[in-house]
């Protein structure tokens, strides 16, 4: 087991239909995070959720919604997350969403970076 290291988790709540320059916003965020050498990013798709409008977004067959909730999670050092926030701010300007930050301990296994 590796020794825990202090990091930050940036969690971005958006909708599947949110776009930036014609491309899905979640994809644009992950690609920009990779481009800026962020340690890691993952997109999670939700089956049910609501935001500030209180409108339910569901994956149930009888309640078809084209705008399912998504969460983009990004983990790195507090300094790298702080540097990424202005970039994210520019990307979120045309969409509605919620961003949270929390301090986390990272236990990283394996020593070889992915190719």
Q: What is the pLDDT of residue 1?
A: 43
The reported pTM is 0.81
**CATH number, domain 11-106:** 3.30.70.120
Q: What is the mean pLDDT of each run of 10 residues along the chain (115 residues)?
A: 77 92 95 95 84 62 67 95 96 87 89 60
The label of the residue with tokens 């969403």 reads 97
Look-up of token digits 């481009």: 35
The pLDDT of residue 97: 87
- 7, two tokens: 């990091």
- Extended beta strands in 1-115, E state: 5-15, 19-20, 23-24, 40-45, 48-49, 57-58, 69-76, 98-106
| CA atoms within 13 A of residue 60's CA, in its CB half-sphere | 7
């Amino acid at each position: 087991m590796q020794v825990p290291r202090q990091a930050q988790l940036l969690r971005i709540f958006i909708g599947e239909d949110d776009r930036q320059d014609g491309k899905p916003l979640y994809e644009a965020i992950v690609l920009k995070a990779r481009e800026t050498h962020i340690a890691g990013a993952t997109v999670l798709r939700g089956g049910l959720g609501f935001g500030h409008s209180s409108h339910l977004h569901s994956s149930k067959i009888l309640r078809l919604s084209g705008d399912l909730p998504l969460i983009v999670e990004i983990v790195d050092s507090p300094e790298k997350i702080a540097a990424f926030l202005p970039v994210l701010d520019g990307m979120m300007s045309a969409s509605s969403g919620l961003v949270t930050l929390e301090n986390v301990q990272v236990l990283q296994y394996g020593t070889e970076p992915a190719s």
